[in-house]
């Protein structure tokens, strides 16, 4: 699978800028292996509308609004490269087709798109806007569901790699427990060794046993490392992020223009607050790291950081 993420010029951009963009995109597509599933997605700044007359091979009839100049360019480009505009294929409410809201809330368009090569069209099961995703943008997240049929089933698929919580080894009691259990397991392993001539098979078996010893010891004494929030973001900033998200949830669910206008202003203020706090958190975090590195260097411990 090859995915190409791009950002196209706006509809008001000059023709030379648009031509340069599509030439660069074309050059990238030409380098894509023919057998790959090709997905082109991003902010195309193009309204393709819902009229697919004479464009059935490129788009469906479930787009939004009417086509504009950038939409014509995108449709022609898709026709030349056997691409299908996924967001026009599936019937959804307009609120799930809109991908961009203007800051004043008056303009709502479908300008972000996901395209897939025509012969893989049946692999695309749905494309829609996910309005609940909050990232401080006037664009909505576009989600596409793709189902692939593999030629051959994958056998003996291993589980995902375990990441052990090695930070616990900094605790003396945990480190001592880890060493004792590791030593005991290796002692048992040594007693089980059969002193046969060394072969490739025996080396592989030996390594497998060693790997198992380390994994089981780590699993018992350290446990699996849990995903954590970014350490440099303070709790106060996380609270503001959640408040911003709550405002967006209400904004998406209300139908009153008056309330929407008020909520947009609240969201804008909260978004600026989040960015300001995050910037201050990162500066403080980097300053703390610099001081720790300076202290460690003065003690000759820089290599241990």
pLDDT higher than 70, residue 196: no
Residue 304 confidence (pLDDT): 46
Strand partners, 129: 142
Each residue's pLDDT tens digit, 144-157:
999 887 665 555 55
Output the pTM of the full model. Answer: 0.59
Most distant pair of Cα atoms in the chain: their distance: 84
Residue 235 confidence (pLDDT): 87
Residue 83 confidence (pLDDT): 92
Distance between CA atoms of residues 53 and 200, nearest Å: 66
Query: Hey, where are the domains in the chain?
Result: 2-146, 171-221, 235-304
Residue 201 confidence (pLDDT): 66
Each residue's pLDDT tens digit, 70-84:
999 999 999 988 999
Tell me which architecture the domain covering 2-146 has in CATH. Answer: 4-Layer Sandwich (3.60)
The average confidence (pLDDT) of the chain is 84
Distance between CA atoms of residues 21 and 4, nearest Å: 13
Structure tokens at 280: 């201050």
Each residue's pLDDT tens digit, 203-227:
777 788 888 888 888 888 888 876 6
pLDDT higher than 50, residue 303: no
Residue 305 confidence (pLDDT): 44
Residue 215 confidence (pLDDT): 87
């Amino acid at each position: 699978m090859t995915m190409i993420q791009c950002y196209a010029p706006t509809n008001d951009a000059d023709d030379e800028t648009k031509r340069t963009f599509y030439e660069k995109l074309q050059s990238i597509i030409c380098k894509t292996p023919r057998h790959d599933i090709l997905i082109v997605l991003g902010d195309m700044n193009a309204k393709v509308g819902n009229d697919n007359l004479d464009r059935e091979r490129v788009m469906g009839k479930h787009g939004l609004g009417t086509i504009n100049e950038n939409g014509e360019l995108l449709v022609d480009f898709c026709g030349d490269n056997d691409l299908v505009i996924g967001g026009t294929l599936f019937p959804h409410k307009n609120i799930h087709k809109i991908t961009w809201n203007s800051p004043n809330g008056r303009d709502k368009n479908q300008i972000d798109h996901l395209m897939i090569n025509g012969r893989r069209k049946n692999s695309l099961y749905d494309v829609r806007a996910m309005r609940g995703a909050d990232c401080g943008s006037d664009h909505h997240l576009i989600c596409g569901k793709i189902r692939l049929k593999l030629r051959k089933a994958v056998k003996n698929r291993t589980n995902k790699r375990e990441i052990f919580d090695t930070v616990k080894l900094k605790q003396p009691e945990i480190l001592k427990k880890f060493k004792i259990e590791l030593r005991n397991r290796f002692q048992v392993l040594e007693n089980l060794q059969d002193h046969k001539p060394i072969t490739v098979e025996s080396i592989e078996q030996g390594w497998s046993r060693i790997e198992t010893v380390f994994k089981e010891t780590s699993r018992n004494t350290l446990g699996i490392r849990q995903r954590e929030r970014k350490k440099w973001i303070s709790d106060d900033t996380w609270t503001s992020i959640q408040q911003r998200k709550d405002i967006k949830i209400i904004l998406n669910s209300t139908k009153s223009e008056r309330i929407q206008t008020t909520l947009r202003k609240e969201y804008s203020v909260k978004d600026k607050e989040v960015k300001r706090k995050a910037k201050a958190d990162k500066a403080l975090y980097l300053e703390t790291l610099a001081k720790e590195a300076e202290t460690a260097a003065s003690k000759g411990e820089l290599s241990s950081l």
